[in-house]
Structure 1
Amino acid sequence: MNLQALLADINSVVWGPITLALLVGTGLYLTVRLGLLQVLKLPLALSLLFKPANGKGDLSSFAALCTALSATIGTGNIVGVATAIKIGGPGALFWMWLAAFFGMATKYAECMLAVKYRTTDAHGRIAGGPMYYIERGLGLKWLANIFAIFGVGVAFFGIGTFAQVNAISDAMTIAFDVPTWVTALVLTSMVAAVTIGGVKRIANVAQRLVPTMALGYILACLWILVMFSDQIMPAFELVIHSAFTPISAAGGFLGATVAQAIQIGIARGVFSNESGLGSAPIAAAAAQTKEPVEQGLVSMTGTFFDTILICTMTGLVLIITGVWSGDTAGAAMTSAAFAMGGSAIVGQYVVTIALVCFAFTTILGWNYYGSRCWYYLTNNTLGEQGTNVYQFIFLCLIAGGAFIKLDFIWLLADTVNGLMIIPNLIAIIGLRKVVLSETFQYFNKRAMVSANLKKS
């Protein structure tokens, strides 16, 4: 058995019924117990995005969200959606929506816990995330260590490096005929230049680049949707129908079962928005706020922007243009869809620029996540030398990621992502009463303040 076959077997276990049930079940439980918080409190969450800092922390709430979004808005929004629909059919998009809807409640809970249980490290920086609420909330140091190990694994071998670098390299080669080694060298140098400045420099880049690139991509998608507006409703009907019905082979599409649509849709949804993965809480913990609930609300908008908005845009563009059943795959499929709204060159450039920007910021975000997990594992016993070791390994993996086969990369990324989810969801379930208590106390306090204002 070769390495890829072995990894495929491991991946089938990691993303088996237990993990899927744990992931969706946790989100479903929180959705019910929190009273559809992701729907009813979404307007409040959006209004809190630009609220002035009112507590200790390293970043503003908006900067913390942008740092988290820099890691989530990446190849999953372009290549991941295309891969999901190619393998699972249009129905996979429905299961991405479902994972995102329940995932918003999960994202709220994990980011709220991150602020509640955060602490300060030896250098005076905010330290938080699943490893801290697992240790300080549940008292399970060994489980916190397991999460941190998997976190470093995802940063090194999952979302953080290979998938992003390979996507950038392929896009630059196809669009501009740039040699792979040149892309690897330039990208490694750029990442090194930004990450040396730490989380504040990463956040500064993210605050400028994330909103701009997301808005530009959405506008490009809207252009295609307007051109094919008569196909939008049929596309939605196809998504719903194929989510529960096997899709026969057509063109370059090999056909898909409902089970395939569910598995690939949820897996790619998590890859894209990272709800339940435990990554966003690491950034959320650094927010300058004294209200854990408020940062939880702000953070859950990340899943809304990432999947409900951007992934849906990509999915609809792929479906209404009909390229999903063609012979192309990955970024090439998305390029072909955009080419339907103009020239092939324009389509190629739109996808290439979006992909490069999305993937670059994802690398920056995951460099930070991995470094905090590394710091937790070493307990800063190695000091700055330990940080330098982490950064050296990370940069070496970026340099080499462009030369690894795409199929192997996605398989490896899915596997390590799944491993990271398990200890984090165990912690959220174990601390569910804390989540509910903090949430109800916060909204009761808001209601009392509002009532007093009306009386006066």
Structure 2
Amino acid sequence: MEGFVNAIINFSNWLWGIPMLVILVGGSLFLTIKLGFFQFKYFPYAMRETFGKMFKKPEGEGTISPFQAATAALASTIGASNIVGVPVAIAFGGPGAVFWMWIVALIASAAKFSEIVLGIRYREKNEEGEYVGGPMYFLKNGIKSGLGKALSVIFSFFLMIEIIPSIATQAASAVQTAGTINIPNWVTGSLLVVLVGLVVFGGIKRIASFTEKLVPFMALLYIIGGIIIIIVNITELPRAIGLIFKHAFTPIAATGGIAGAGIAQAIRWGTARGVYSNEAGMGTAPIAHSSAVTDHPVRQAMWGIFEIVVDTLIVCTVTALIVLVSGVYELVPADQAASMPAVAFQQLLGNNLGGGIVTVSILLFVLSTIIVIAYYGKTQAEFLFGATFSNIMVIVYLIAIVLGVYGGIEFLYNFLDILLATIIIPNMIGLLLLSNEVKDLKNEFFSNSKYYNPAK
């Protein structure tokens, strides 16, 4: 059995090396070129349509507001890894990894934009009269062959299954974090089960109502705390930014918490961070966005760019600067890199307040992630087997929380990344095969004054 598990681990490590990075980053670069580098050309307009019109009443059809859809998607992407994943990338890829994280995020905007456009284009109404969509629908209905149906089933089935170990590992992170401030495992686990059950069984409207309040609060709590640390160490900010750009193109020697890294390691770790942080190309975001009220698929897809800005360019960047300006990257060993932000907060605000901010942030990030990915799994079950079975899967996901709290997930955890690949591959195939439709819809939007008015 041990040999089998080791083989799975080795295969997973190989798969998530060059092969998956080529699929995700290479596919996103292809879409960026095909769409005319739209995410750069129309970036100011995208920010006006999102940040600038966050609370404006939308026009068109849908179930929830565009902002609610974005916060639901952000609830999944802004997770504990935004706090612990970035310092790990710096430890093993050097400060230059942050530069490549930014570059990959901007390129990956094309994949996220495309999947949201297609999600809206091929969305349907379910038995409860709510709009539903995502890769399972645009693969089945957009690709007119048996291939499309096969890809939709593969995506939907493996996403439904992948969410079980994913929820379990999120729950495990929550109880480990809560344990640092002496909250018993059973208290954390019970709270997660109750809150997740109440919100997810309520459907997309209740989820959207919950996340539109939780996500801004949890993000601001962490960002404000991080900005305080950066301001206190403001004299180190120019040096930190210089390290990011310098070591994106030159190696860095081993020092303190940095294991030493060449340019290849900076690109590898920064690329992985960029891919994981915003879920672009994974096909999950359009599941939330497909419920949004909008008059055109492209308008809603602008929120995908908004999510990448918030998740990667703001939250992940704040984490990176916390680690660099505070100097903890020179003090904490590389194998303990995940603790760097907590150490930085504790240095300035003390063990209780500093550690408390990081702990509360991680707990909120985990809660929001579990709620949204449980909904994603519920929609897959509904797509494959109907509404009744989807409620059964919610119960399975609640049991997964208990597994995460009390252990028993080690075997499943080894399959997590492989399962994730079985989701990404059919989604990226669909995005590439349907890229002409995305291009046509993009051109339709920006050439029609009914939709696109840069003066507004």
Query: What's the TM-score once normalised by structure 2's chain length?
Result: 0.90
**2:156 equivalent in structure 1:** 148
The SS at the match of 1:78 is helix
**2:38 equivalent in structure 1:** 37
Greater displacement, 21-30 / 192-201? 21-30
Q: Using a 3 Å threshold, how does the CA distance of structure 1 residues 165 and 279 change in structure 2: closer, same or farther? A: same
The SS at the match of 2:448 is helix
Q: How does 1:348-359 map to 2 (within 5 A)?
A: 348-359=355-366
Gaps of 5+ in 1: none
1:449, distance to aligned residue in structure 2 (A): 7.5
The SS at the match of 1:56 is coil
Q: Which amino acid aligns with 1:149?
A: F
**2:447 equivalent in structure 1:** 444
Q: Deviation per CA, 1:196-252, whole angstroms, max 9, x where unpaired?
A: 211111111101111121122111111111111122222222223333444433334
**1:228 equivalent in structure 2:** 233
1:165 paired residue among 160, 168, 171: 171
1:67, distance to aligned residue in structure 2 (A): 0.6
Root mean square deviation of aligned Cα: 2.5
Q: How does 1:53-452 map to 2 (within 5 A)?
A: 53-139=58-144, 140-158=148-166, 161-174=167-180, 176-325=181-330, 326-327=332-333, 329=336, 331-378=338-385, 380=386, 383-384=387-388, 386-404=389-407, 412-446=415-449
1:345, distance to aligned residue in structure 2 (A): 2.2
8 Å CA contact retained: 1:104, 1:304: no
Q: Using a 3 Å threshold, how does the CA distance of structure 1 residues 18 and 219 change in structure 2: closer, same or farther? A: same
Q: Deviation per CA, 1:77-99, whole angstroms, max 9, x where unpaired?
A: 11222332233332322222122
Q: Using a 3 Å threshold, how does the CA distance of structure 1 residues 408 and 85 change in structure 2: closer, same or farther? A: farther
8 Å CA contact retained: 1:270, 1:277: no
Q: Using a 3 Å threshold, how does the CA distance of structure 1 residues 300 and 361 change in structure 2: closer, same or farther? A: same
Q: Using a 3 Å threshold, how does the CA distance of structure 1 residues 406 and 142 change in structure 2: closer, same or farther? A: closer
Greater displacement, 296-305 / 176-185? 176-185
Question: Quick one: distance in 1 between partners of 2:342 and 2:5?
Answer: 28
Greater displacement, 105-114 / 328-337? 328-337
Q: Using a 3 Å threshold, how does the CA distance of structure 1 residues 5 and 434 change in structure 2: closer, same or farther? A: same
Q: Which amino acid aligns with 2:43?
A: L
Question: Quick one: distance in 2 between partners of 1:213 and 1:112?
Answer: 28
Greater displacement, 335-344 / 276-285? 335-344
**1:13 equivalent in structure 2:** 14
The SS at the match of 1:21 is helix
Q: Deviation per CA, 1:329-381, whole angstroms, max 9, x where unpaired?
A: 36532110112322222220110111111111111111111111122222x1x
Q: Deviation per CA, 1:32-70, whole angstroms, max 9, x where unpaired?
A: 333332233233223333342322221111111111011
8 Å CA contact retained: 1:60, 1:288: yes
Question: Quick one: distance in 2 between partners of 1:61 and 1:347?
Answer: 34
Question: Quick one: distance in 2 between partners of 1:449 and 1:415?
Answer: 41
8 Å CA contact retained: 1:90, 1:242: yes
Q: Which amino acid aligns with 1:438?
A: L
Q: Which amino acid aligns with 2:202?
A: G
Q: Deviation per CA, 1:408-435, whole angstroms, max 9, x where unpaired?
A: 8886544433332111111111111111
Question: Quick one: distance in 1 between partners of 2:78 and 2:426?
Answer: 23
Greater displacement, 359-368 / 267-276? 267-276
The SS at the match of 1:52 is coil
Greater displacement, 253-262 / 343-352? 253-262
Q: Deviation per CA, 1:241-295, whole angstroms, max 9, x where unpaired?
A: 3334444333344334544433333233222210111000101111111300101
Greater displacement, 71-80 / 85-94? 85-94
The SS at the match of 1:93 is helix
Q: Using a 3 Å threshold, how does the CA distance of structure 1 residues 443 and 2 change in structure 2: closer, same or farther? A: same
8 Å CA contact retained: 1:104, 1:301: no
Q: Percent identity?
A: 35
The SS at the match of 2:248 is helix
The SS at the match of 1:343 is helix
Q: Which amino acid aligns with 1:171?
A: T
The SS at the match of 1:48 is helix
8 Å CA contact retained: 2:135, 2:155: yes
Q: Which amino acid aligns with 1:278?
A: G
1:30, distance to aligned residue in structure 2 (A): 2.5
1:450, distance to aligned residue in structure 2 (A): 5.3
User: Number of matched residues?
Assistant: 446
Q: Using a 3 Å threshold, how does the CA distance of structure 1 residues 406 and 251 change in structure 2: closer, same or farther? A: farther
Greater displacement, 144-153 / 83-92? 83-92
8 Å CA contact retained: 1:165, 1:184: yes
Gaps of 5+ in 2: none
Query: What's the TM-score once normalised by structure 1's chain length?
Result: 0.90
Question: Quick one: distance in 2 between partners of 1:447 and 1:40?
Answer: 20
